[in-house]
Amino acid sequence: MLSQGFVSAASIAASVLFILSLGGLSNQEKAKRAVWYGIVGMAIAVGFTAFASGIGGYGWMLPMVLIGAVIGVSVAKKVKMTEMPQLVAALHSFVGLAAVFVGLNADLERRRVMAVQLIGDTGERFSAFAALVATKTPAELTFLQVEVVLGVFIGAVTFTGSVIAFGKLAGKIDGKPRQLPGGHLLNAGAAILALLLAILYVNGAGIWTVLLLALLALFIGYHLIMGIGGADMPVVVSMLNSYSGWAAAAIGFTLSNDLLIVTGALVGSSGAILSYIMCKAMNRNFIHVILGGFGGSQGPAAEIEGEQVAIDAGGVASALNDAESVIIVPGYGMAVAQAQNSVSELVRKLRDADKEVRFGIHPVAGRLPGHMNVLLAEAKVPYDIVLEMDEINADFASTDVVIVIGSNDIVNPAAEEDPNSPIAGMPVLKVWEAKQVFVSKRGQGTGYSGIENPLFFKDNTRMFYGDAKSSVDSLLPLLD
């Protein structure tokens, strides 16, 4: 067994590696190294925690670690980039459920210690956690109860919220916002009742209070995320990431595990900051989004005039051959078609012809922050031509050709032109200001949020129907 000194030193080392990992992920060139920092940090955290003094049950622990590792490797090898958002949501649910189980077990251990102390049985063998509980003062035991309540509540909300987010992202649940009759009042009522149960629990009521509190929290997580529309799902995933971090931190306080506290705080704060940044980029109020106030229409939508006009590969290639400047706007459709390598080849051919080619990336393009950046980096697209919305939006008016590949809501002019649109006020890429716009799209359906896009009906827009990869591939032999 390892001494507490070794475990504390390992915790500090792992915490530093986690911080370096988060910091490195802000830069595409450093991201691979940052991921390795996280991997090594987690290996240190798991290893030194498992073999710390007072830890036992290896007959159960080691097989479970092995089974989990095999499942993790298998899933990582099979999952596609398009499925990463729902995978992240699923992993968040595991953290939430773990927090609930740890909280309930901690209360059972607390009650067992109190019962043993009451009857004066000095021969009772305690687990490492129970032995720690036995040394706590009455005030410290009260704090332990508060930690249990927080861990169970946040964990339960995270669990069901993440399950619903997974369903919406995977297309197994309708992406439209839906709430039970009573809407936000149901959530508020459940939260107030959970608070009353928490007060009863801290004041000596039975474990039934924690169980009921967990059930109420499970309902809140379900109803909260069901009430959030598909256009907000990238923010939801980030927000649930924050919840999972706070749940982990609560577990850390319960178990007196410094590493869990630090790691949970890092995940919780970074997730909250990212959610805030994304809401700011979408011109949305953070609290409004969380409460499910965005995603439904606010009145009759504006009528769309005109028709969608199709074009073939020859027409698009001709326009590209004549153009001097091109901006490509990728979206979830590019990810679905796995078209990033074809797009990279298209960029190479256009740049070889001395054309200016750049990418415009919306902060919430795809279904996970940074989704498009990762795909383009994977296809070896030069970092310096991949620009964020604020860097490129003013250049569309002077651009000859814009190619939209599988994007919908992030290039929707209704955000600026229709005050009744569900995305009214959301900053979007102003692709319609370019001389010509070609939209690569599988069909005439709406985007993930279910909102019709007037861009597709504008006079300078042509619809290049078909699978994104096949469509881009058909352009390559036609370029000069």
d(CA 368, CA 97): 22
Length of the chain: 480
- Token look-up 């036995």 returns 134
CA separation for the pair 175, 422 (Å, rounded): 14
Torsion, Cα 199 205 208 213, to 10 degrees, reads 0
Cα 8 from Cα 12, distance rounded (Å)? 6
Catalytic residue positions, numbered: 409
Our separate counts of H helices and E strands in the chain read: 18, 6
Instruction: Give all strands of the β-sheet with 401-405 in edge-to-edge order.
Output: 386-388, 356-361, 325-330, 401-405, 436-441, 461-465
Identify whether the C-beta of residue 148 lies closer than 8 Å to the C-beta of residue 102.
Answer: no
Report helix, strand or coil for 137.
coil
Which among 129, 150, 128, 135 has a CA at the least distance from the CA of 202? 150
Return the residue matching tokens 């498992």: 50
